[in-house]
Amino acid sequence: MDWLTTVDHKKIGILYMIAGGFFFLIGGLEAIIIRVQLMKPMNDVVAGDTFNELITMHGTTMIFLAAMPLLFALMNAVIPLQIGARDVAFPFLNSLGFWTFFFGGLLLNLSWFAGTVPDAGWTSYVPLAGPTFNSGHGVDYYVIGLQIAGIGTLLGGINFMATIINMRAPGLTFMRLPMFTWSIFITSALIVFAFPVLTVGLVAIMFDRLFQANFFEVANGGSGVLWEHIFWVFGHPEVYILILPAFGIISEVVSTFSRKRLFGYSSMVFATVLIAFLGFMVWAHHMFTTGLGPVANGLFSIATMLIAVPTGVKIFNWLFTLWGGSIRFTTANLFGIGFIPTFVMGGVTGVMLASAPADFQYHDSYFVVAHFHYVIVGGLVFGIFAGLHYWWPKMFGRMLNETIGKITFWTFFIGFHLTFFVQHFLGLLGMPRRVYTYLGGQGYDDMNMISTVGAFLMGVGTIAFLLNVFITWAKPRNATNDPWEDGRSLEWTIPSPPPEYNFQQTPLVRGYDAWWKEKMEGKTAMTPAEPIGSIHMPSPSILPLIMSIGLFIAGFGFMYDHLLVAGGGLVITFGCMVIRSLFDDHGYHIEPEDQEKGVKA
Amino acid sequence: MMNRWPGMKRLLPLLAGLVLLLSACGREDLSTLNPQGPVAEKQFDLMKLSIGIMALVVVVVFIICIYVLIRFRRRQGDKSIPVQVEGNHKLEVIWTVIPLVLLLILGVPTIRDVFGLAKDYSKDKNAVQVKVTAHQYWWEFEYTDYGITTAQELIVPTDKTISFELVAADVKHSFWIPSIGGKMDTNPGVTNRMYLDFPKEGVFRGKCAELCGPAHALMDFKAKAVSPESFDRWVAAMKAPAVMPADAEIAEKFTSQCLSCHAVGENGGNSAPNLTGIGGRQTVGGILYNDEAGVEQNLHDWITDPQKYKIGAMMPGAEDNSLTPEEVSSIAKYLAEYKLDY
């Protein structure tokens, strides 16, 4: 019950982690089936239509229901601690964000049980996703599930922007923010600008499907290319929504474990902002073969290539953070270091793709599959693994087992490169993506086999991580405040896991790498910025859960054309909003004498 | 910083080797790394240039990375605190400027080819105009200047530029002949244009590159480049009156059951692939290779149960077409023998 009503950012972080991890396993299982099907030519483990359902659900699940929630898990767990805050700006919204994401994801995945699964690809290009060529309810699950889940993401984005702007500890100016906080700040801004675009697109496609509107119905004057524009105006920034937090994590991990200050901090910040800005300018590079003409293709080619410059700055700054440092090879840092060359390989193929005439060959081939898996798995998932291993003691008070951690890293790392490196060549040899099978003798057979073996190895790595989590669970909480001994930012100044109110006294920040600075001056605690006093806390609430269930019910109602059910669901949601508005909730206070007892979160 | 240059000297031959390796990779009729026409060649040049630049970047990063990891690993019991370096403007400027220079080297030919490959031959009297219509899950090729239509096997002369007009009949597809040139999407309601040259005779494999439904994976076609004389003979043969089955009963059945959608010569509909001269094509349905099972057997299998070979294909099976096994065999035999002489 405690978990259903919590508004504490640390617990919501853990909820995000469990739910995101759960969906990650589902998406991973789908990936394994995909790779088993493609293991050999003309294989028939799954049929063509089932395969299309698998790739659609794999992509959608991994991006929206695994990667983003796992990032939200880390940002919830860490950001308030890094900026010396007692919670996020809007704790109630934070809880609502989690539950809408969860029920949106649940609705999407229930399609497997309904027997009608989205099958138009994660990009849901029309007309294939439109009512004329996709008359079942499959794409409805995609459209409505993502709309509900998208509410959660948008709420999170707004919340973290507000939190980072308003709730920094005294002295923590923007140019003293830890790099992870910076990257989440920029990411939140990207979410705020990009997700509404997706919502607009999803609403339009929902109107086409449910109410016979004609936004994308070519026969009635709609446009299919319009959907591509809408989707990628959201979809390209989405890539940076995913990767910027990973950049932030790597900056923290690499700097901590080389016992060195981040090299070129201000250029890192500037590069992050620039990447985010350019990220909005380049969506049409997903559409070079759509036929937009040479002027558009030329402009978007060059704009896209430019992103390599700030990204390169970041890469070399990381390398020179390591340079001259005292590098410690913990699991977190192995993932951090493994990230750098791997991400570079994903990045350079991105520049190759940016060259439009060459992209006529790469586009929609396995080369693209290899490229974005290098970025999203080799970048983002490595980043998430690094972050989880790094902050695990802070979140749970227990250290993950390092030996199993290293097994996780090496199996996952080797498996990853086996899986995706050869796919570059499959693409160049003419294998299109999203094919459920291929004829033998085209030169694809061996590489597909290697790729499948690699996928299994990645599966082993994931299982090793789960094993590590379960083993760690059984151990006592013994992590110290600063378990890595080289912690630099504020989260390492408080107990692991932190008490409910995080900081008994808000710390005073006197420079960049606040905690490191104090440590170097021989201090064992931060200087407080306020006297010990009564701490105001928000009350827990069940309303976010009920509101999300309301939306979940309404989604089903709309999909199956039961307007009563739909209306009922909306009444529940809006009813909760009314209750929330009419009844004031002033929260409660934790008095100094209770603080001494160490109220556990 | 300086000690990365000797490494580079050793690297350049490696890169050259890599490029050589790439240029002999994959099937001649399929691989983008083994271009068989000027369009694919231009694209391949760009690919080589970008692969070269990018391999250089990757190698530099790898070298620094490995060096750092070996040189600066923490020794057991080492409690020393490294110097907390803030940054170095000179270095940061260097790694801002070098990528910019590299991008300039790649950007200029990119822009040149973007415009070069967008050249419009649709009004060119010397070019062969072909209208490509993509269907779920087959390709229709209409030669607008000659008034002939064929399907699944695109016949082109080696001496002329082919100017394509690309449209879709249902959902979005993408027209791609990897060894001849890059792809272009077919969008419902929009006409796209591209051109390709086929200087060498041969049969090249074409693919659909955009997810278009359950049989997307099987939406293959062939592009057959023939000598100009041979092409003219093919056009003439296509225009000649259709050859109908000799047996009147089979002809009757063929007309009533098949020609409502398919066409041979002037006869029949055009909502399904044109069958004129189908016996001479490389494949049935784009995926059943006739040099493996034989054209008659492939046709027989296909007519009996098209769904078995192409899931989601619109063509009804023999039972739904009320064809007896004997009729299927006769029609398969007739079609297998229907070859064009060119």
In percent, how much of chain A has pLDDT > 70? 99
Cis amide bond preceding B137, omega within 30: yes
* pLDDT digit string, tens, across residues A548-562: 999 999 999 999 989
- Residue B21 is classified by DSSP as H
Residues A358, B86: C-beta atoms closer than 8 Å: no
Q: Which of B82, B96, B178 sits opposite A325 (nearest CB)?
A: B82
From CA B49, how far away is CA A424, in angstroms rounded? 16
Mean pLDDT within A245-274: 96
pLDDT in tens, B280-291: 999 999 999 999
Within the 128-167 window of chain B, which residues sit less than 8 Å (CB to CB) from chain A?
Answer: 166
Helix (H, G, I), strand (E, B) or coil at B307: helix
Q: How many CA atoms lie within 13 A of B121 on its CB side?
A: 19
Say how far apart CA A217 and CA A126 lie, in whole Å: 8
Asked if A486 and A554 sit in the same domain, the reply is no
What CATH number is given to the structural domain containing A331? 1.20.210.10
Pick from A428, A443, A349, A433: which is nearest to B32 by CA?
A428
The answer, for A174 touching chain B at a CB cutoff of 8 Å, is: no
A344 vs B209: CB contact, 8 Å cut-off?
no
Cβ-defined contact of B172 to A328 (cutoff 8 Å): no
pLDDT at A159: 96
CATH number of B128-238: 2.60.40.420
pLDDT surpassing 90 at residue A1: no
> Does residue A469 carry a pLDDT above 50?
yes
- Between the two ends of chain B, the Cα-to-Cα distance in Å is 66
Task: Tell me how many residue pairs between chain A and chain B have CB atoms under 8 A apart.
Answer: 287
Q: Which two tokens stand for residue A77?
A: 């767990």
CB contact under 8 A, A443 and B91: no
Q: Do A364 and B92 touch (CB under 8 A)?
A: no
CA Rg value for chain B: 27
The model's confidence at residue B135, banded by pLDDT at 50, 70 and 90, is very high
Amino acid residing at A598: G
- CA A306 to mean position of chain CA atoms: 24
Residues of B in contact with A315 (CB under 8 A): 61
A175 touches chain B (CB under 8 A): no
Question: In terms of Cα–Cα distance, which of A70, A1, A59 is closest to A34?
Answer: A59
Q: Are B206 and B177 in contact (CB under 8 A)?
A: yes
Best of B22, B97, B114, B180 to substitute, by most chain A Cβ atoms within 10 angstroms, is: B114
Q: How many CA atoms lie within 13 A of A20 on its CB side?
A: 23
- Region A253-279: mean pLDDT is 95
**pLDDT tens digit sequence for A126-161:** 999 999 999 889 999 999 999 999 999 999 999 999
Judge whether residue A601 has pLDDT over 50.
Answer: no
Write the pLDDT tens digit of every residue in A340-354: 999 999 999 999 999
Please give the pLDDT value at position A80.
96
pLDDT of residue A324: 93
8 A C-beta contact, residue B136 and residue B215: yes
Minimum distance, in Å, between the CA of residue A230 and any CA atom of chain B: 16
Q: Which residue from B minimizes the CA distance to A128?
A: B171
Please, which residues have CB within 8 angstroms of residue A377's CB and are 6 or more apart in sequence? A416, A420
* pLDDT score of B77: 84
Checking phi first, is residue B176 left (phi over 0); if not, alpha (psi -120 to 50) or beta? beta
A206 at B interface, C-beta within 8 A: no
Shared domain check, A157 and A120: yes
- Quick check: helix, strand or coil at residue A76? helix
> Pick from A344, A355, A363: which is nearest to B57 by CB?
A344
Q: Count of CB atoms within 10 A of residue B62's CB?
A: 15
Q: Smallest CA–CA separation between A218 and chain B, in Å? A: 6
Q: Which of residues 64-123 of B touch A (CB under 8 A)?
A: 64-65, 68-69, 72-74, 78, 80-88, 91-92, 95-96, 98-100, 103, 106-107, 110-111, 113-118
- Token pair of B127, please? 């070019």
Cα gap A36→A90, rounded to integer Å: 45
Nearest to A361 among B178, B218, B289 (CB): B178
A411 alpha-carbon distance from chain centroid = 22
Above pLDDT 90, what percent of chain A?
A: 95
- Token couple for B125: 């009297």
Q: Is A433 left (phi over 0), alpha (psi -120 to 50) or beta?
A: beta
The CATH number corresponding to B248-337 among 3.50.50.60, 2.60.40.420, 3.40.50.300, 3.40.1360.10 equals: 2.60.40.420
Are A558 and A210 a contacting pair, CB within 8 Å? yes
Q: With beta carbons less than 8 A apart as the criterion, state whether B176 and B208 touch.
A: yes
Vertex A321 angle, CA A318 and A325, to 5°: 140
Using CA atoms, how far apart are residues A465 and A495, in angstroms rounded to an integer?
25
**Band of the pLDDT at A600, cuts 50, 70, 90?**
low
Q: Which two tokens stand for residue B20?
A: 């050589």
Structure tokens at B147: 């008034």
**For residue A351, which residues of chain B lie inside 8 Å, CB to CB?**
50, 53-54, 103, 106
From chain A, the residues in CB contact with B115 under 8 A are 294, 298
Instruction: Kindly report the nearest CA distance between residue B180 and chain A, in angstroms.
Output: 10
Q: What pLDDT is attached to residue B51? A: 93
Q: Average per-residue pLDDT in chain A?
A: 94
Whether chain B has a CB inside 8 Å of the CB on A511: the answer is no
Query: Does residue A36 have a pLDDT over 50?
Result: yes
Letter string b/e over residues A489-500, b meaning 16 or more CB atoms within 10 A of that residue's CB:
bbbbbbbbbbbb
When pLDDT is averaged across residues A369-392 and rounded to a whole number, the result is 96
**Are B185 and A291 within 8 A, CB to CB?**
yes
* A596 and A552 in a common domain: no
Coil, strand, or helix at residue B294? coil
**Domains: count for chain A:** 2
Query: CB–CB of A491/A82 below 8 Å?
Result: yes
Q: Based on the fold, state whether residues A418 and A564 are members of the same structural domain.
A: no
Mutate to test the interface with B, among A360, A436, A446, A513 (most CBs of B within 10 A): A360
Q: Structure tokens of A530?
A: 């306020």
Interchain CB distance below 8 Å, A428 and B27 = no
Written as one letter, the residue type at A35 is R
Cα A447 to Cα A305: distance, rounded to the nearest angstrom: 29
Smallest CA–CA distance, residue A380 to chain B, in Å, is 19
pLDDT in tens, A271-299: 999 999 999 999 999 999 999 999 999 99
Considering CB atoms only, which of B53, B184, B209 is closest to A432? B209
pLDDT tens-place string over residues B4-62: 444 555 555 655 666 556 656 788 899 999 999 999 999 999 999 999 999 999 999 99
Q: In this complex, do A48 and B178 lie within 8 Å of one another by their Cβ atoms?
A: no
Count CB neighbours of B232 within 10 A.
14
Secondary structure of A376-398 in the HEC alphabet?
Answer: HHHHHHHHHHHHHHHHHHHHHCC
Which whole-number Å values give the CA distances from B30 to A427, B19, B113, B250, in the listed order? 11, 18, 22, 39
Residue A550: enclosing H or E segment and its boundaries?
A: helix A543-559
Q: Which residues of A touch B312 (CB under 8 A)?
A: 48-49
Domain that holds residue A549: 542-584
DSSP string across B165-234: EEEESSS-EEEEETTTEEEEEE-TT--EEEEEE--S-EEEEEEE-S--STTGGG--EEEEEE-HHHHHHH
* Domain extents in chain B: 32-63+89-118, 128-238, 248-337
d(CA B338, CA B278): 6
**In sequence order, what DSSP letters do the residues of A442-468 get, joined into one string?**
SS-HHHHHHHHHHHHHHHHHHHHHHHH
* Residues A399 and A494 both lie in one domain: yes
Q: Are A444 and A41 in contact (CB under 8 A)?
A: yes
Same domain as A46, residue A10: yes
Contact A85, A502 (CB under 8 A): yes
If asked whether residues A296 and A283 sit together in one domain, one would say yes
Pairing of strands B192-197, B161-168: antiparallel
